[in-house]
């Protein structure tokens, strides 16, 4: 066991941290949250040039041969500045699927330019009725000659408003909740029959509602087996959960440090409020949750690359549950300990609070992960 | 970052697991399977088995009878012992005063005490707390007055765990009260059996077992040669002692064993024509604790990995006791819930009324309320963490 970073990893962490401090403090996110796109293509390209987008991809695909941990380290630092560029949807979700499932041609065409920061991607999988069940897919893909024609609706598509290419899940066979019969289709934007309704998230990040009304997808834009996409989608969403833990760690750490600083500087009754034991104990409990979240973030990042599917699901579920319950303890107390000022928009804490709450709602909430955990065969193994 | 285990360590785990299985007497193994209480005789019987194998003090240096294992092997050994449900050895000799003597004892003290701690011939207990010095330990009042080459002790110690079985006690006594209260404390070793003026009276715990005692000193004479460190240097000794083997204080392995037991009990508890382990609400309650325990285990792994590289435990390790004991208690609470009406039972209930695997649950559930109190109460742990993270001037 070793949890130290390599020299290269430490260099990446330092350079992303420098970028956040100098070029993308929270102030930048504040300005961008009211713009149409919400993020800047020039900055995205710069991130590509720095190699941050390609850090976790194999060398033969134009990456740096790294692993998921490398992406998690970048995400954590981006989280500290609420950097709005679409790293999670574009690199982790859609990029991950293209890397895993795409043919050489598909990767050349869609993955390579994204890793350079020239384009951005999205993954559209959630539907109004599906909640967190990935197999609940009613969007249809019907064969017409060599093409597929897509009909349906996708909700809360992260970066869906700006992406140059959206990977869409759609049913090619089976009933609406069958595990088989789900395919992944690459839809370029704009495309005939694709309508994108921009939707502002409560965290100030932008998403889209997609309406697919007869979108024609050629055979060469199908990723892998058009009926066997679900295990890959599950893999990608688990990595999304691990990425949420990583980015969320940045926000949790930031909220914790800001709260500690406030406890030391804010005075009431003639003394810093951090001298009151009731608040000291709350801070100590926050610290415990921060450390448990960090431990889980590492666990999730390491398991995101695991070939053992059950181990991956089990441990990423444990991590996501900790982000959702332990992380919540930190964020609710960060606001509480700031008092009234914590509920004002001018104070940054509320922005971190909102972003965390969104990450908690993505890729399975606590109840969903607890439920999946107790359904895995390992839960009933080795009882005695 | 890498969580993989080297083949050598994996092989070591196999070796330890196989040995424990072979070495554990059948009656102890039966109690282990039922998560039962081990009386003192069982603990000492297991102590001697480990001693004969040379594994009783894994963290001691080899020259004093330790194993020479690194932290990784020690952690695996400890995990495997707990996993097998082996009786937990009394920590006061092997875990506490032994390492302290190795570091600060005189040559004579080492030769006099260490071999008998190892063999289990002499059992130790700890005299720290007093009726009016609990969390505020430094305000302790037990007097030690120098009289020639002896100290004369007067006062009372409490929560002296195992004193009713012990041959020796290590204790903190006040030799001077003119300065700061942390000064003027001296660390002494006293012969419990052969010193006139020492009286021990065990408490019955809420678990129905005896764990700790009250110990009185009335003109008890302790030779000056039984002092560890300088006169007035006892507080430093007490702090050094706390530093030993704190990486496993979270009790992760113990909680994991109890979680398996909760499932075992639930599997044997009928609810209609199914079992409690088929009940999804109950499964989710178990799952929540199991997931949180996994988070704590990762925190412990990080502490262990740092210790293996020779780094002093950082502030992150201070959460292990705090969170670990809370999880541990919650699991015993869940175990009580699993039993339904059987939670009314006690360890002397006949097996027709209470199956053997449920016999000791209520006792342990009650006794383990102590987990968030002993070793520095969890409120004291929070004070320590807060001091560290806030670093307020004057605090």
How does DSSP assign B282-328, residue by residue?
HHHHHHHHHHHHHHHHHHHHHHHHHHHTTPPP-GGGGHHHHHHHHHH
A125 phi and psi angles, rounded to 5 deg: -135, -30
Interchain proximity A272–B286, CB inside 8 Å:
no
- DSSP letter (8 states) at residue B13: H
Question: Which residues make up the CATH 1.20.140.10 domain(s) of chain B?
Answer: 252-390
Angle of helix A68-80 versus helix A7-22 axis, rounded to 10: 20
Task: Name the residue among A4, A287, A383 with its Cβ closest to that of B267.
Answer: A383
pLDDT band at B306 (very low <50, low <70, confident <90, very high): confident
pLDDT digits (tens, 9 = 90+) for B339-362: 999 999 999 999 999 999 999 999
Measured CA to CA, the distance from residue B79 to residue B312 in angstroms comes to 22
Could you give the ipTM of this predicted complex?
0.96
B294: pLDDT strictly greater than 70:
yes
Size of interface A-B (CB pairs under 8 A): 138
B17: pLDDT strictly greater than 70:
yes
SS (H, E, C) chain A: CECCCCHHHHHHHHHHHHHHHHCCCHHHHHHHCCCCCCCCHHHHHHHHHCCCCCCCCCHHHCCCCCCHHHHHHHHHHHHHCCCCCCHHHHHHHHHHHHHHHCCHHHHHHHHHHHHCCCCCEEEECCCCCCCCCCCCCCCEEEEECCEEEEEEEEEEEECCCCCCEEEEEEECCCCCCCCCCEEEEEEECCCCCEEEEEEECCCCCEEEEEEEEEEEEEHHHEECCCCECHHHHHHHHHHHHHHHHHHHHHHHHHHHHHHHHHHHHCEECCEEHHHCHHHHHHHHHHHHHHHHHHHHHHHHHHHCCCCCHHHHHHHHHHHHHHHHHHHHHHHHHHHHHHHHHHHCCCCCHHHHHHHHHHHHHCCCCHHHHHHHHHHCHHHHCCCC
Measured CA to CA, the distance from residue B149 to residue B279 in angstroms comes to 68
Task: Name the residue among B286, B294, B308 with its Cβ closest to that of A318.
Answer: B294
pLDDT digits (tens, 9 = 90+) for A303-324: 999 999 999 999 999 999 999 9
Query: Which whole-number Å values give the CA distances from B346 to B28, B206, B329, B330, B360, in the listed order?
Result: 20, 12, 18, 20, 7
What was the pLDDT predicted at B239? 82
B-chain residue closest to A301, CA distance: B1
Query: Is B208 exposed, middle or buried, given 0-12, 13-18 or 19+ CB atoms closer than 10 A?
Result: middle
Interchain proximity A292–B2, CB inside 8 Å:
no
pLDDT digits (tens, 9 = 90+) for B222-239: 999 999 999 999 999 988
B271: pLDDT strictly greater than 90:
yes
A349: pLDDT strictly greater than 60:
yes
pLDDT band at A383 (very low <50, low <70, confident <90, very high): confident
pLDDT band at B189 (very low <50, low <70, confident <90, very high): very high
Measured CA to CA, the distance from residue A58 to residue A107 in angstroms comes to 12
Interchain proximity A280–B286, CB inside 8 Å:
no
pLDDT band at B244 (very low <50, low <70, confident <90, very high): low
pLDDT digits (tens, 9 = 90+) for A272-298: 999 999 999 999 999 999 999 999 999
Assigned token pair, B205:
């715990």
Interchain proximity A284–B5, CB inside 8 Å:
no
**Least confident interval from A168-177, A198-207, A278-287, B237-246:** B237-246
Query: Which whole-number Å values give the CA distances from B35 to A97, A291, B206, B328, in the listed order?
Result: 47, 31, 18, 14
The secondary element (H helix, E strand) that includes residue B174 is strand B168-174
Query: Which whole-number Å values give the CA distances from B162 to B87, B142, B199, in the listed order?
Result: 15, 19, 14
> Contact at 8 Å (CB) between B313 and B384?
no
**A 344-373 → B contacts, CB under 8 A:** 369-371, 373
CATH placement of domain B7-89: 1.10.540.10
- DSSP letter (8 states) at residue B207: T
pLDDT band at B44 (very low <50, low <70, confident <90, very high): very high
Upper half-sphere CA count for residue B382 (Cβ side, 13 Å) = 19
A-chain residue closest to B291, CA distance: A318
What was the pLDDT predicted at A384? 74
Angle at CA of residue B302, ends A8 and B389, nearest 5°: 95
Which of chain B's residues have a Cβ under 8 Å away from the Cβ of A384?
33, 260, 264
Which of chain A's residues have a Cβ under 8 Å away from the Cβ of B303?
none
What length does chain A have?
384
Closest by CA position to A329, among listed A273, A285, A279, A360 = A285
Closest by CA position to A313, among listed A224, A227, A229, A241 = A241
Closest by CA position to B71, among listed B300, B254, B381, B316 = B300
Task: Name the residue among A263, A322, A384 with its Cβ closest to that of B390.
Answer: A263
CB within 8 A of B304, min separation 6: which ones?
A: A1, B71, B72, B75, B247
Q: Max CA-CA distance within chain B?
A: 76
The answer to whether B333 is a known catalytic residue is no
3-state secondary structure of B239: helix
In this structure, which topology does domain A7-119 adopt according to CATH? Answer: Butyryl-Coa Dehydrogenase, subunit A; domain 1 (1.10.540)
Query: Is A262 exposed, middle or buried, given 0-12, 13-18 or 19+ CB atoms closer than 10 A?
Result: buried
pTM passes above 0.80: yes
CATH placement of domain B124-234: 2.40.110.10
Assigned token pair, B271:
């609810």
Interchain proximity A1–B295, CB inside 8 Å:
no
Interchain proximity B299–A280, CB inside 8 Å:
no
Task: Name the residue among A322, A326, A384 with its Cβ closest to that of B260.
Answer: A384
A75 phi and psi angles, rounded to 5 deg: -60, -40
Task: Name the residue among A280, A371, A382 with its Cβ closest to that of B382.
Answer: A280
**A 298-327 → B contacts, CB under 8 A:** 298-299, 301-302, 315, 317-319, 321-322, 326
What was the pLDDT predicted at A40? 98
A78: pLDDT strictly greater than 70:
yes
pLDDT band at A29 (very low <50, low <70, confident <90, very high): very high
What was the pLDDT predicted at B251? 87
Query: Buried b / exposed e across B342-357, counting CB within 10 Å, b at 16+?
Result: beebebeeeeeebbeb
Which of chain A's residues have a Cβ under 8 Å away from the Cβ of B267?
383
Average pLDDT for chain A: 97
Interchain proximity B319–A292, CB inside 8 Å:
yes
Interchain proximity A374–B284, CB inside 8 Å:
yes
What's the average model confidence in pLDDT over A89-115? Answer: 98
Assigned token pair, A181:
């019969």
Interchain proximity B291–A317, CB inside 8 Å:
yes
Interchain proximity A272–B392, CB inside 8 Å:
yes
Closest by CA position to A186, among listed A158, A211, A210, A222 = A222
What's the average model confidence in pLDDT over B58-63? Answer: 93
* Beta strands at A165-171 and A121-124: parallel, antiparallel or unpaired: parallel
What was the pLDDT predicted at A291? 97
In this structure, which topology does domain A231-380 adopt according to CATH? Answer: Butyryl-CoA Dehydrogenase, subunit A; domain 3 (1.20.140)
pLDDT band at A87 (very low <50, low <70, confident <90, very high): very high
What length does chain B have?
395
- Best mutation target among B70, B305, B319 (most A Cβ atoms within 10 Å) is B319
Residue entry with tokens 């930048």:
A28
pLDDT digits (tens, 9 = 90+) for B128-183: 999 999 888 999 999 999 999 999 999 999 999 999 999 999 999 999 999 999 99
What was the pLDDT predicted at B346? 97
B-chain residue closest to A379, CA distance: B287
Upper half-sphere CA count for residue B187 (Cβ side, 13 Å) = 21
What was the pLDDT predicted at B376? 84
Architecture of domain B252-390 in this structure = Up-down Bundle (1.20)
Give the CATH H-level superfamily of domain A123-227.
Butyryl-CoA Dehydrogenase, subunit A, domain 2 (2.40.110.10)
What was the pLDDT predicted at A380? 96
Angle of helix A277-303 versus helix B378-390 axis, rounded to 10: 80
Measured CA to CA, the distance from residue B382 to residue B394 in angstroms comes to 18
Q: Is A112 on the interface with B (CB under 8 A)?
A: no
Assigned token pair, A165:
């290419």
Measured CA to CA, the distance from residue B88 to residue B81 in angstroms comes to 8
B18 phi and psi angles, rounded to 5 deg: -65, -40
Measured CA to CA, the distance from residue B344 to residue B135 in angstroms comes to 33
Delimit the domains of chain A by residue range. 7-119, 123-227, 231-380
What's the average model confidence in pLDDT over A253-277? Answer: 97
Which of chain A's residues have a Cβ under 8 Å away from the Cβ of B381?
284
What was the pLDDT predicted at B318? 78
> Contact at 8 Å (CB) between A334 and A256?
yes
Interchain proximity A373–B304, CB inside 8 Å:
no
| Helix residue spans in B2-159 (DSSP H) | 7-23, 26-33, 40-53, 71-83, 91, 98-104, 107-119
Annotated catalytic residue within B245, B297, B326, B333: B245
**B 15-74 → A contacts, CB under 8 A:** 33, 72
pLDDT digits (tens, 9 = 90+) for B317-342: 779 999 999 999 999 999 999 999 99
Give B350 to chain A, closest Cα distance, Å: 24
Residues forming beta bridges with residue A182, ordered by sequence position = A171, A228
Interchain proximity B291–A318, CB inside 8 Å:
yes
Q: Is A117 on the interface with B (CB under 8 A)?
A: no
Which of chain A's residues have a Cβ under 8 Å away from the Cβ of B264?
383-384
> Contact at 8 Å (CB) between A15 and A50?
yes
Angle at CA of residue B273, ends B271 and B278, nearest 5°: 60
Query: Is B239 exposed, middle or buried, given 0-12, 13-18 or 19+ CB atoms closer than 10 A?
Result: exposed
């Amino acid at each position: 066991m070793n949890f130290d970073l390599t020299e290269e990893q430490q260099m990446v962490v330092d350079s992303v941290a420098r970028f956040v401090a100098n070029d993308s403090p929270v102030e930048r996110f504040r300005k961008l949250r009211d713009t149409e796109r919400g993020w800047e293509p020039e900055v995205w390209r710069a991130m590509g040039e720095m190699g941050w987008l390609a850090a976790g991809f194999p060398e033969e695909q134009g990456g740096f041969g790294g692993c998921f941990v490398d992406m998690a380290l970048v995400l954590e630092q981006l989280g500290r500045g609420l950097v709005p560029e679409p790293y999670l949807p574009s690199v982790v979700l859609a990029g991950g699927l293209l890397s895993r499932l795409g043919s050489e041609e598909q990767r050349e065409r869609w993955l390579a330019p994204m890793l350079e920061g020239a384009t951005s991607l999205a993954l559209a999988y959630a539907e109004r009725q599906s909640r967190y069940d990935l197999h609940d897919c009613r969007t249809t893909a019907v064969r017409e000659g060599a093409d597929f024609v897509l009909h349906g609706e996708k909700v809360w598509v992260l970066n869906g408003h700006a992406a140059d290419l959206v990977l869409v899940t759609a049913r090619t066979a089976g009933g609406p909740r069958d595990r088989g019969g789900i395919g992944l289709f690459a839809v370029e934007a704009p495309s005939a029959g694709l309508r994108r309704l921009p939707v502002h998230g409560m965290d100030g990040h932008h998403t889209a509602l997609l309406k697919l009304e007869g979108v024609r997808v050629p055979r060469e834009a199908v990723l892998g087996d058009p009926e066997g996409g679900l295990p890959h989608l599950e893999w990608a969403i688990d990595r999304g959960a691990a990425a949420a833990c990583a980015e969320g760690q940045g926000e949790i750490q930031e909220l914790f440090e800001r709260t500690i600083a406030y406890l030391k500087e804010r005075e009431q009754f003639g003394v810093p409020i951090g001298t009151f034991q009731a608040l000291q104990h709350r801070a100590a409990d926050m610290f415990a949750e921060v450390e448990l979240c960090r431990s889980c973030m590492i666990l999730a990042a390491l398991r995101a690359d695991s070939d053992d599917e059950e181990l991956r699901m089990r441990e990423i579920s444990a991590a996501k549950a900790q982000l959702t319950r332990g992380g919540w303890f930190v964020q609710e107390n960060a606001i509480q300990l700031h008092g009234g000022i914590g509920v004002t928009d001018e104070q940054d804490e509320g922005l971190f609070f909102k972003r965390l709450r969104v990450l908690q709602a993505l890729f399975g909430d606590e109840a969903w992960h607890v439920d999946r955990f107790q359904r895995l065969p390992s839960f009933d193994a080795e009882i005695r | 970052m890498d969580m993989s285990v080297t083949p050598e360590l994996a092989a070591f785990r196999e070796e330890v697991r196989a040995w424990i299985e072979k070495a554990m007497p059948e009656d102890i193994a039966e109690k282990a399977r039922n998560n039962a209480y081990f009386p003192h005789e069982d603990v000492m019987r297991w102590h001697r088995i480990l001693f004969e194998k040379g594994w009783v003090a894994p963290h001691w240096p080899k020259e004093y009878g330790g194993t020479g294992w690194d932290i990784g092997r020690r952690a695996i050994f400890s995990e495997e012992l707990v996993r097998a449900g082996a009786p937990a050895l009394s920590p006061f000799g092997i875990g506490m005063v032994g390492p302290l003597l190795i570091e600060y004892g005189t040559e004579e003290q080492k030769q006099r005490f260490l071999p008998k701690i190892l063999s289990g011939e002499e059992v130790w207990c700890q005299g720290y707390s007093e009726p009016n010095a609990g969390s505020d330990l430094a305000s302790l009042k037990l007097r030690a007055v120098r009289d020639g080459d002896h100290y004369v002790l007067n006062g009372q110690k409490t929560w002296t765990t195992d004193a009713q079985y012990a041959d020796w006690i290590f204790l903190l006594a006040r030799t001077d009260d003119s300065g700061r209260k942390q000064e003027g404390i001296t660390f002494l070793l006293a012969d419990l059996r052969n010193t006139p003026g020492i009286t021990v009276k065990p408490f019955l715990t809420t678990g129905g077992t005896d764990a700790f005692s009250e110990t009185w000193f009335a003109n008890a004479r302790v030779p000056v040669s039984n002092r560890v460190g300088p006169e007035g240097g006892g507080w430093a000794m007490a702090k050094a002692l706390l530093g030993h083997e704190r990486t496993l204080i979270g009790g992760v392995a113990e909680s994991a064993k109890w979680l398996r037991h909760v499932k075992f009990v639930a599997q044997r508890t009928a609810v209609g024509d199914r079992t409690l382990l088929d009940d999804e609400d109950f499964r989710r309650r178990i799952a929540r604790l199991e997931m949180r325990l996994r988070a704590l285990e990762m925190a412990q792994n990080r502490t262990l990995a740092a210790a293996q590289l020779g780094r002093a435990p950082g502030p992150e390790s201070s959460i292990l006791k705090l969170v670990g004991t809370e999880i541990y208690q919650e699991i015993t609470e869940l175990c009580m819930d699993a039993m339904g009406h059987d939670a009314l039972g006690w360890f002397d209930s006949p097996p027709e009324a209470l199956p053997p695997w449920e016999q000791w649950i209520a006792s342990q559930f009650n006794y383990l309320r102590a987990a968030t109190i002993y070793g520095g109460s969890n409120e004291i742990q929070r004070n320590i963490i807060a001091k560290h993270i806030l670093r307020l001037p004057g605090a």
